[in-house]
Amino acid sequence: MSSSDTPSFQYPLSWRILDRAESVAGLWPGRWSSLTGYLFLVPALLLVFVLVIGLVYIFDYSLHELDLSTYRLKDAFSLVNYQAALKSVTYRIVVLRSLGASAIVTLITMVLAFPYAYVMVRTRSSFTRKFLLISLFLPFFIGQVVRAYGWLIILGKEGLLNTFITSLGLPPVKLIYNYPAVILGLVQYMLPFAVLLLAPAVTSISEDIELASEGLGANWVQTFRHVVLPLARPGLIGAGVVVFTLTLTDFAMPEILGGGTTDFIANSIYDGFFQISNPGLGAALSMILVTLGSVIVTVVFFLAGTGTLVSTEGTP
């Protein structure tokens, strides 16, 4: 196509840009094309590397004792921080409290989330489905701090519930700044995560299997127990692990709804760094939390499979 006979004609701009880009991309030698995939990974690998360096720093901090005369970490390596953290009764209680809360929250959340996911997937009404989805996404898109604030208004001394209780002539009840309030806040926080992880698992269960089960004389409870839940197992494991680890490492709910006496591990780490200015101890607690979480997840995956979290498919 020469420009002399059709001077007014030009390829569309997008084509020309594409051609130009293609010629630039052509500089990338063909024999390197097997490297393209790795090139694509570089930005993500670098971003995650920031966290890895951070972890290395924290590990380094954890190996140095605080010098109380200067409030700086000593140069010498020592395991004093780990000894202090593991020996302390307080931290043992904090760890057990966090683990206990994780177990309770996971159990309650799964019991509540599964029926929600099930109804949402199985309902024939697209309006109902939309309504359930919106009710799920809205709190999912509102952060922990705002939701915790909402609970403060509901559970507080002059909150909604206590106003109701006192209007019945009963004395006000202390509903906040305690363990149950933290559990409630966490369950509400985890529900959207759990439902969104469970819904695909429910979708993958063919309704025909349920109908077959019921056709064979099983009632819905039996069908649930022997057909639906076993089939949803990968989803349940995936959702359970996510809820468990998110609870184990949570900071905001115990901080805001716990009133300073129901600290989780994350709160102790924060206090180690900022309240008592001992980054070494805080770092040791951080490493303990990382280890604890990894061990638990590994054990669960070893015993029950990886669920839906790690996809083994996708090889081209």
If one asks whether residue 12 binds other proteins (CB under 8 A), the answer comes out as: no
Using CB under 8 A, pick the residue from 76, 260, 295, 299 that binds other proteins: 260
Residues composing the chain? 316
- Shortest Å distance, C-beta 267 to other proteins: 9
Name which of 18 and 76 has its Cβ closer to other proteins.
18
Alpha helices by DSSP H, the chain: 13-25, 36-62, 80-87, 89-122, 126-140, 144-155, 160-167, 179-203, 207-215, 220-223, 229-231, 233-248, 252-257, 265-270, 279-304
Please state, in angstroms and rounded to a whole number, the distance separating the CA atoms of residues 278 and 104: 31
Other beta carbons within 10 angstroms of residue 298's beta carbon come to: 10
- Shortest Å distance, C-beta 133 to other proteins: 4
Going by C-alpha positions, the residue among 93, 109, 91, 88 that lies closest to residue 247 is 109
**Residues 204/308, Cβ–Cβ less than 8 Å:** no
- Shortest Å distance, C-beta 103 to other proteins: 17
Binding residues among 91-150 for other proteins as defined by CB under 8 A: 93-94, 111-113, 115-116, 118-121, 129-130, 132-139, 141-150
Binding residues among 292-311 for other proteins as defined by CB under 8 A: 293-294, 297, 308, 310-311
Using CB under 8 A, pick the residue from 74, 157, 225, 226 that binds other proteins: 157
- Shortest Å distance, C-beta 1 to other proteins: 17
Binding residues among 40-69 for other proteins as defined by CB under 8 A: 40-41, 43-45, 47-48, 50-55, 57-58, 61, 68
**Residues 109/190, Cβ–Cβ less than 8 Å:** yes
Give the residue carrying structure tokens 């180690």: 272
# residues near other proteins by CB under 8 A: 126
Binding residues among 223-252 for other proteins as defined by CB under 8 A: 245, 248-249, 251-252
Name which of 7 and 314 has its Cβ closer to other proteins.
314
Please state, in angstroms and rounded to a whole number, the distance separating the CA atoms of residues 163 and 156: 9
